[in-house]
Structures are given as C-alpha cells and as structure tokens.
Amino acid sequence: MNFDANSFEIQRWNSAAYVESWITNHEQEGGRKTLRRKLVDTLPFESVDSIRVLDVGVGGGALSQEILTHFPNAQIVCQDFSEIMLGHARQHLAKFANQVIFVQSDLSTPGWIKSISGTFDAVATSLVMHTVPGRVKDIYQEIFNIVKTNGCFTIGDNIFTPGPTMRKVYMKMRLDNLRKALNGEKGIEANPEEIERRMQIRQHRRSGEDQERVRNPLRTNLTLESQLEWLKAVGFNEVDCPWKEMQRAVIVGIKH
C-alpha cells in the first residue's frame, strides 16, 4: 500500500495529542529556538520599521513572537491549516492581538494563497516546507507573487543530504559532537559504549521520522542546492544561505 504523505501530515497536525507533544518537546525546542533566532536575524529591516509579515505555517506562534519582539511595529498574518495549532498560536500571541491576524488555509493545495490578502515586506516560515515536499517549488512561486519589491522570503528548515557520502559525514560529525558533549558532562573522556548507547537512544527517537523519509522520497529533493535553485528560478534576485548548522539551514530570497 502506498504511503499518502499528505494525509499523514494532516492527521498528525490535527491531533491534539501530537501537537501538544511537539510543542512541549523541550529537547527539540533548543534547536528550534536557535533556528528561529537565526531566521529573524536575516530579515533585512531595521528594528523600528513598520513591516508587514506573513508567517507561513505559524504552528504555536513562536516564530511570530520572535519577529514581534525584534520588530515591535510589525503586523503579522499567521497562516496554518491546523485549527489546533492556530488555537495554540492565538493563546501564545494574545498580548499582540492588535498586530496579528490568523488565516486558516492548507499549503498542500494551490488555493491556500487565495486566503491571503495583500502583499508583504517579508514572508517567513520555520520547519514547514519539509512537510509539503511535493509542493515546495510551487509554493515558492506563489509566495514570490505576494512579496513586495525589496522584500524577502526567509525559510528556516531541515535540509537533506545530496547523497550517501555526505550522510556518512554528518553521522561522523554527530558522533564527534556527542562525544564532546559527554566529555563536558562528565569531565572525563567518554567511553565508546556510552557514546553508542546515547546514539541508539537518539536514533530510536528519530526512527519514526526516518521511516517517514523512506515512505516519502520527495523529501530527498529538498537539498540546499535545489532550494537555492528553485528560489532563483521563480524570480528572487539575491538568493543565499546565511546560516547552516548540520542539516538545518536558513535560506533567503530577496526580490528587487
């Protein structure tokens, strides 16, 4: 039986239990917070500017909060397809009620953009594009059309390795990072058995996502190189990756 990636994403993000576990996953939140901060750092505006921003796939509202903290005069449209996620975002952003509006639409369908009115100085999205891998190129075009001249589209997301050799390189780097972290915890050289045990725990936690990648091979197209090419192809003039750490990156397209 073929794996229906779109149905899978819809089901889990419409599950209150899954959404709650994702939002409250403190181990992953550290990495997500770093990604959000790096993303906001790339927005090419002054902190006092009155900018209009679209947060695509707002989730629980953490990225919008980060943007509003750095740009207190911003107005944000928060888009998501999950009513459960939008409920969390409304609570999270309650103190910014006069600066935020919420729109429910589904990125997996071309009609999502019809629910978004006007144009934007910036469009931002964090950890969303990899959930709709078959639509990414089309979404980039749809977003280009609503970005103002001299505006930007900024993406923070997981990226995929271009091949098996680089996967081995990243695994080697993860092992080395884990060894250094364990040495810092214990103040002594970690033994190989402890490193292996910790890696097995981490791999077990990621096993569900790894299986999903196998079932959803379109995700393997989301390399750094391909996404830079797609942004350029739809019309963004300045395209770059100002920050990358392992297999997470912030990618930016500027429209002139």
What is the mean pLDDT for each group of 10 consecutive residues in the chain (256 residues)? Answer: 58 75 78 95 97 96 97 98 92 96 94 95 96 93 98 96 85 78 62 62 49 58 94 98 94 98
Residue 156 DSSP label: E
pLDDT at 21: 79
DSSP string, 180-203: HHHHHHHSSPPPHHHHHHHHHHHH
DSSP 47: T
Domain locations in the chain as residue ranges: 5-160+222-254, 164-215
Question: According to the model, what pLDDT value does residue 195 have?
Answer: 60
Q: Give this prediction's pTM.
A: 0.83
> What whole-number distance in Å separates Cα of residue 228 and Cα of residue 251?
7
Return the pLDDT at 220: 80
Strand-by-strand arrangement of the 120-126 sheet: 100-104, 75-80, 52-56, 120-126, 147-158, 248-254, 238-245
What the block records as the tokens of 42 is 């790339």
Which letter does DSSP use for residue 85 in this model? H
The arrangement of secondary structure in 5-160+222-254, i.e. its CATH architecture, is 3-Layer(aba) Sandwich (3.40)
- Count of beta carbons in the 10 Å neighbourhood of residue 50: 11
As a whole number of angstroms, the distance between CA 72 and CA 83 comes to: 26
So what's the pLDDT on residue 1? 40
Collapsed DSSP state (helix, strand, coil) of residue 71? coil
Distance CA(192)–CA(127), nearest Å, equals 33
Dihedral of the alpha carbons of 151, 139, 88, 160, in degrees to the nearest 10: -100
Q: How far apart are CA 99 and CA 120, in angstroms?
A: 14
> For the stretch 99-109, what's the b/e string if a residue is b when 16 or more beta carbons lie within 10 angstroms of its beta carbon?
bbebbebbbbe
CA angle 76, 82, 83 (to 5 degrees): 85
